[in-house]
Structure 1
Amino acid sequence: MTQLNYRQFEQPCLLAPDWLMLADGPVRDHAVLLDGERFGDVGPLETLRAAHPEVAVVALPGKLVMPGFVDSHHHLTQAFGKALVFGEPSEIFRRVWVPMESGLTPDILYLTAKLASLEALRGGFTTVCDAGTRASEGLDAIARATTEVGLRCVLGRVCNDKRGDQVLEAGPILAQAERHIADWQSNPLVTPSLAVPIPEIATDAMLHRVSSLCAEAGIVFQTHVNEHLVAVERSLEQRGLRPLEQLYRAGALGPQALLAHATLLTPDELMMLRDTDSAVSYNPVASAWKGNAVAQAQLMHSLGIRVALGTDGTRSDGFRLLDYAEAAQRFAFGMAVGDSSCGGGWPWLDQGTRGGASVLGLNTGEIAPGKAADFLLVDLEVPELLPSWDLSWELVRLANRDQIQGVFVAGRLRLWQGWPLDWDARALMAEVNELAKAVVSGAPIQKIHPYTDAHRRDWLAERGGERHA
């Protein structure tokens, strides 16, 4: 196995891996010019060597250079409570996330966002889209955390105008939204976004105005939609419309709209998405862990609906996300109709990289001249990928996070063999480990499913202590 040293990647240089993942698939005997925050030339190695004779060639035998993963739906401020929701029934935001997040101070938001950002980089993500915190303040702290880690972030600001039966004054909310856009629109690593967590906590007028602000600014409007059956039924009871229908009636759909989950859609709602060019964040791990259904992502793809992949803060592991994206389609839809490939491996690879970047309006997700140099260096010299017959499929089903040797964002090496080079990740982990326990114990969280040890004890007690093999 070839030994690498991160000092090899001093710019400018020509990266010459065994495989280079381009928009049309992986190619051999190609190289990419790394010189600054964006990719320079991309093409056959000998062509680039002749065009740039003064630039050192960094040979990368047994390695793949591919775009970094894009997480189109994350909750950076929920890192302290990930395992609290295992086994919980739907709408955990009401019993866990709102009680926990509402009391977080900016200092704590900074730490939880930094931990989540580290996890994301370790999983191969170079961009995350944060759906907005329920804490009353602290967006600056979240942005500081992601920037220090070197993660590209789409930063959502929550803009709902309903609190129970109370309708809040729209003016201050919209003023804060406009200020958020102005504050971050020119930042190199942070892109602003506006969010309404679920349509039912905003008036139609606010949904329309917030979405319109995003359209005018060329940024993303985020909301969770049709994720849980109870939410769909509650919307029908309160407004006589399903959540997606409410957004459509309010004029809040469009190319700027990014709808998280979208798992429970009627044929008419699929047409609403297609006709308005709205986008969907497909979150397959969230469906498996806490959802009521799986988004019809393959059908959406076939209909021309823009789809990206998101973790929903469940597990920041890009390769396992690809695997879940394909497997969930096969279990939920493919097996019933004898579809063995569910579109093949490449759609999920695309949706996890350039598809996500496109949905978020970012100049990333692809290795091409002028694109932001956000990429991964992946070791292919592992038993799992030998012999190799179809690299794209293999990345979806067989690749692992531990193969990621380097993570680069904006041309800069941010992570090497799982750890940052310019700050102390282990010190962060030690600080978080103590603080998180105090935060969780002090929050009015309602956990329905018991912890594993208690569940095992109760299960055995119900059976008179009998142990089953």
Structure 2
Amino acid sequence: MTQLTRELLDSSGPLLLVPDAVLLPEGVADDHAVVVADGSFRAVGPAGELTRTHPGLHAVRLPGHLLMPGFVDAHHHLTQSFGSALAFGEPSEIFRRVWVPLEGALDEEAAYAAAKLAALEALRGGFTTVTDAGTRADVDVEVVASAARDAGIRCVLGLVCNDITGDPASTAGPSTAGPSTAGDSTAGESASTAAALERAEKHLARYAGDPLIHASLAVSIPEAATARTLHRTARLAAEAGAIVQIHVNEHLAGVERSLVRHGLRPLEHLHSIGALGPQLLAAHATLLTPRELTLLADTGTAVSYNPVASAWKGNAVAPATAMAERGIRFGLGTDGTRGDGFRLTDAAEFAQRIAYGLATGDSSCGAGWTWLEHATAGGADAVGLGARTGTVAEGLAADFLLVDLATPELALSRDVPWELVRRGNRDQITAVFVGGELRLWRGRPTGWDGPALVRQAAELARAAVEKAPITRVHPTSTAARRGSVAR
């Protein structure tokens, strides 16, 4: 262990960190420093000023390093990590064939290991916050909370509040019931709705005061809940200062089912029952009309823009540059694809360039800073933590990265934000801090055995995948190659 590592691990008192530069909201500030105490930034400012005003603190020098906010993953599925190798080459709505069956095969041990494995991957990729959209494993959600807490990552933890059982996609026919009556047509439906709302209220209260876990509500897709539940979860979250996560306008099939059933697109349906607003985080939102963009802007609804998910199994790319121009709140999400914050920002810019920029001659496509900002402060705002994290600023949680700038990719930089988006990668991350504590050092967690978890997860994953009734459309790449050669 180096002297620098020992200094950073010493969290018994305030830390005065003096890197070469600090990434602030307005840009990179050279010769700046921060004071970290009690899990937060106590001071941020010029290095000379902070060393003078804190003479009792030993200055920890970090030559060649940039101190920047940790990335915020605005959309994740922590208990789906065991299926990460099953997602390639699959068409849309993979959740029906892979994710739901896989999560259904997890017991408490497997769910914990899957969530902690996902948290470790996220930390290695520079994420200090992950937003879990709710597990469908038959376990207490505290299992997921414990995994995130033990890994040392901040987590916005969703509780699934679906109150329509079975396959909601099979339900056809128009429905015009309003928020006060929908779901009350039968005793069974009414009981299911009441139970879902009771669970929601208890979940929102359960993690009050937890330093790392922030309660959230979730509905898998609008079809999975009655109008009453969609309306009430929105109100409960708004009253609690929390968010509701719903996959919205992600796939063509879902949009068409909503049109058949309600005569409205999913986002329009949510608006009609009063579910839009600052408390809603619309996951994906790839298929948006001009009217729906206006609804998002007018209601303050947030979006998680998941560019890698669009590339891997989506029907479209969310119009994120248009969202940014119109002031629509959004963060960047991985959707559990790969936990690498730098590659996520690169994908965010690249997807916009391919989907929209090339056709219009937009060579900037957000000018780099847009994607870096929405991967940090914008993401924190979208998931309801804008007053807690996402920015290096006095009073906010000390969730940050130390990035090595003395690498072949970054050493010659003349525009650090653009370079981080285009040429940053996780092996340049020296350290990850969450809540003022060193959680990761050069890719390895501090305080617990990461390699041991990986070995355990690999064994549990094999058993879970064999047990789950998973249906894949395409063969493995090796089998596909054999078929291609045979043809």
Q: Report if TM-score (shorter chain) is over 0.5.
A: yes
| Contact 1:12–1:34 (8 Å) recurs in 2 | yes
Q: Among 316, 321, 333, which residue is 2:344 paired with?
A: 321
Q: CA deviation at 1:428?
A: 1.0
Q: CA deviation at 1:243?
A: 0.7
Match of 2:195 in 1: 172
Distance 1:116 1:132, change over 3 A: same
| Contact 1:105–1:138 (8 Å) recurs in 2 | no
CA distance in 2, matches of 1:4, 1:92: 48
CA distance in 2, matches of 1:138, 1:291: 30
| Structure 1 alignment gaps of length 5 or more | 463-469
Q: Among 403, 406, 419, which residue is 2:428 paired with?
A: 403
| Contact 1:72–1:309 (8 Å) recurs in 2 | yes
Greater alpha carbon shift after TM alignment, 116-125 vs 168-177: 168-177
Letter in structure 2 aligned against 1:221? V
Q: CA deviation at 1:54?
A: 1.0
Describe the SS at the equivalent of 1:73: strand
Q: Among 305, 327, 334, which residue is 1:282 paired with?
A: 305
Letter in structure 2 aligned against 1:17? P
Q: CA deviation at 1:5?
A: 2.7
Describe the SS at the equivalent of 1:384: coil
CA distance in 1, matches of 2:436, 2:422: 28
The Cα offsets for residues 62-95 of structure 1, whole Å up to 9 and x where unpaired, read as 1000000000100000000011010000000000
| Structure 2 alignment gaps of length 5 or more | 172-187
The Cα offsets for residues 200-250 of structure 1, whole Å up to 9 and x where unpaired, read as 111111100011100010001110001111111111122221111111111
Describe the SS at the equivalent of 1:436: helix
Letter in structure 1 aligned against 2:40? R
- Report whether the alignment pairs 1:92 with 2:94: yes
| Contact 2:105–2:467 (8 Å) recurs in 1 | no
Paired residues for 1:60-139 under 5 Å: 60-139=62-141
Q: Among 237, 241, 252, which residue is 1:229 paired with?
A: 252
> How high is the TM-score relative to the length of structure 1?
0.96
Match of 2:405 in 1: 380
Letter in structure 1 aligned against 2:422? R
Q: CA deviation at 1:304?
A: 0.8
Letter in structure 2 aligned against 1:155? L
Q: CA deviation at 1:407?
A: 0.4
Q: CA deviation at 1:292?
A: 0.7
> How high is the TM-score relative to the length of structure 2?
0.93
Describe the SS at the equivalent of 1:371: coil
Paired residues for 1:432-447 under 5 Å: 432-447=457-472
Match of 2:230 in 1: 207
The Cα offsets for residues 243-294 of structure 1, whole Å up to 9 and x where unpaired, read as 1111111110000000010000001111111111000000000001110100
Q: CA deviation at 1:427?
A: 1.1
| Contact 1:161–1:168 (8 Å) recurs in 2 | no
| Contact 1:15–1:60 (8 Å) recurs in 2 | yes
Letter in structure 2 aligned against 1:373? A
Letter in structure 1 aligned against 2:6? R
| Contact 2:100–2:136 (8 Å) recurs in 1 | yes
Match of 2:177 in 1: none
The Cα offsets for residues 292-345 of structure 1, whole Å up to 9 and x where unpaired, read as 100000101110100100000000000000000011111100111100011211
Paired residues for 1:237-386 under 5 Å: 237-362=260-385, 363-386=388-411
The Cα offsets for residues 121-156 of structure 1, whole Å up to 9 and x where unpaired, read as 000000000000112323111000000010000000
The Cα offsets for residues 16-52 of structure 1, whole Å up to 9 and x where unpaired, read as 1111001111110111112220001111111111111
Letter in structure 1 aligned against 2:421? V
CA distance in 2, matches of 1:343, 1:107: 43
CA distance in 2, matches of 1:200, 1:91: 14
Match of 1:465 in 2: none
CA distance in 2, matches of 1:76, 1:193: 14
Letter in structure 2 aligned against 1:294? V
Q: Among 36, 39, 59, which residue is 1:37 paired with?
A: 39
Q: CA deviation at 1:167?
A: 3.4
The Cα offsets for residues 437-461 of structure 1, whole Å up to 9 and x where unpaired, read as 1110111000111011110001110
Letter in structure 2 aligned against 1:450? P
Describe the SS at the equivalent of 2:95: helix
4+ residue stretches of structure 1 with deviation over 3 A? 164-168
Describe the SS at the equivalent of 1:167: helix
| Contact 1:162–1:168 (8 Å) recurs in 2 | no
Q: CA deviation at 1:168?
A: 5.5
Match of 2:5 in 1: 6
Match of 1:142 in 2: 144
| Contact 1:12–1:56 (8 Å) recurs in 2 | no
CA distance in 1, matches of 2:366, 2:129: 25
CA distance in 2, matches of 1:74, 1:350: 19
Match of 2:183 in 1: none
CA distance in 1, matches of 2:223, 2:189: 12
CA distance in 2, matches of 1:359, 1:226: 17
Q: CA deviation at 1:4?
A: 6.7
Letter in structure 1 aligned against 2:468? A
Q: Among 456, 459, 465, which residue is 2:484 paired with?
A: 459
CA distance in 1, matches of 2:147, 2:365: 38
Letter in structure 2 aligned against 1:64? L
CA distance in 2, matches of 1:388, 1:206: 51
| Contact 1:157–1:193 (8 Å) recurs in 2 | yes
Greater alpha carbon shift after TM alignment, 98-107 vs 81-90: 98-107
The Cα offsets for residues 393-447 of structure 1, whole Å up to 9 and x where unpaired, read as 0000001100001000000000000001211111111111111111101110001
Provide the alpha-carbon RMSD of the alignment. Answer: 1.1
Letter in structure 2 aligned against 1:369? E
